[in-house]
Amino acid sequence: MCIRDSANDLDAALFLCDEFTQLGLIHASLADTRLVTTPTLLSVLVRTDALSTADATAILDANGDARSWDSNSYVQRARSLLE
């Protein structure tokens, strides 16, 4: 069973996703669950003062290194919004 199917089965409010190459497909397969990406989550945490900009940038950089996000325009935009 796919994780996004589990999210649908559980009627999860949110589904955290880092898979940017299949983002459209994942979004389309979710029923009533809101898709949230790590960059979006980090920006919300910064805006609500739950996380510092420096910490959010460090997390984004660490995830980016692990997941090869350097050339991803979505992640580059998120990084620029955190600066």
Domain boundaries, the chain: 3-82
pLDDT above 80: residue 22: no
The torsion angles phi and psi of 26, rounded to 5 degrees, stand at -65, -45
Q: What is the mean pLDDT of the chain?
A: 79
56 pLDDT tier (thresholds 50, 70, 90)? very high
20 pLDDT tier (thresholds 50, 70, 90)? low
Cβ(82)–Cβ(53) below 8 Å: yes
Cα separation, 61 vs 26, in Å, equals 23
pLDDT above 80: residue 54: yes
Render 42-68 in DSSP notation, one character per residue: HHHHHHTTSS-HHHHHHHHHHHHHHHT
